[in-house]
Amino acid sequence: MSGPTPRLLFLDAQDRVRTGWKVLGYVVCVLALGFILELAFGLVPPRLRGEDVGVWLEFLVFLGAAWACLRLEGEPLASIGFRFGGRWSREFALGALGGFLLMAVTAGIVRLAGGFHWVRTPGVGAAALARAFLLYLGVGFAEETGFRGYAFQRLVRGIGPWGAQILFALLFALAHWHNPGMAGATKIWATLNIGLAAILLGLAYLRTESLALAIGIHLGWNWTQGSLLGFGVSGTTGTPGLWSPVFQGRPVWLTGGAFGLEASLPCALVCGLAILLLARWKGRPAGERRPA
């Protein structure tokens, strides 16, 4: 029996390039652009190579790769969730508020359970909060473009929303495995919660067909957790918060410890509830739905 013809290997019944090849092409573009920008970044004076610059360059890599792939498909860059306007701004603001509430409620539960108390961090004011806001804004744009952008959306068309959700939840969790503090029970709880956060962010895209809500949630989550409440953000503690938590000897699974609230049981409960609410919401698609 003869195997599949080369045409069927690359094209589907409608003569469109198969999803797997599109995703592979996107990955190749990301790697190529990342290599070029890394070489260029090495020429920049060390004093200008801040983390805030790096995350925006990462965003440009994901965005450039998506633009190249979309050009081949004849679709605009806006189609992956960047249809800027009044609605985009409202969804972004709503997402930022949602991210704030997710972390504030989680911290409140841990605080009521006697996990810590807060003290005011000296020397942290409006300027530090503004710098951290720009950093986490860049993180939100970069990671949502990379993990909920072109590749995720093409897999949604190819294998369905939940297949894409599960795959990218695993990838999102694995991408954080080398963060500081990823060991023992912390690694288990952090992996679970980061995976749940990926599903939550994926639902934010699926219900709106826009990246505004997801980017807003990502920003609000990180900025509230790290810059306002003073916890670690996925194990990183490079930017001190307005307040600093003083832990009171309770188990790490309750408080998240140095890794941050993302490594706690309360975070899993709050994320699970948010996922249920988003799953029940019918959503507001940004435009006409394209055929799967």
Find residue 117's DSSP bridge partners: 246
Beta strand segments in 100-233, E: 116-120
What is the structure's pLDDT at 239?
A: 75
Contact 72, 155 (CB under 8 A): no
Model pTM above 0.85: yes
pLDDT at 289: 45
The neighbouring-strand residues paired with 120 are 243
Q: What does 43-57 look like in DSSP terms, one character per residue? A: TS-GGG--HHHHHHH
Query: The tokens of 14 are what?
Result: 């409608």
Smallest CA-to-CA distance from 245 within 135, 110, 97 is with 110
For the chain, counts of helices (H) and of strands (E): 11, 2
Angle CA 160–165–166, to nearest 5:
105
Q: What is the mean pLDDT of each run of 10 residues along the chain (292 residues)?
A: 58 68 92 88 68 86 96 94 95 97 97 94 90 94 97 94 95 91 90 96 96 97 95 83 91 92 96 95 62 38
Helix boundaries (H) for 14-85: 19-41, 51-73
The whole-angstrom separation of Cα 63 and Cα 269 is: 33
Whole-number Å distance between alpha carbons of 132 and 51: 10
Phi–psi pair at 120, nearest 5 degrees: -70, 135
Type of residue numbered 171: L
Per the DSSP assignment, residues forming a β-bridge with 246 are 117
Cα 109 from chain centroid (whole Å): 24
Whether 59 and 141 have beta carbons less than 8 Å apart is answered as yes
- Distance in angstroms (rounded) separating the CA atoms of residues 260 and 238: 12
- For residue 198, give Cα distances in angstroms to 32, 74, 212: 25, 29, 15
What pLDDT was estimated at residue 104?
97
**Cβ atoms of residues 230 and 243 within 8 Å:** yes
Q: Hey, CA dihedral for 268, 269, 274, 275, is it positive or negative?
A: positive
| Domain limits, the chain | 83-280
Q: How far apart are CA 14 and CA 58, in angstroms?
A: 34
Mean pLDDT of the chain: 89
Where do we find the tokens 């799953």? 279
User: What's the CA gap between 198 and 73, in Å, rounded?
Assistant: 27
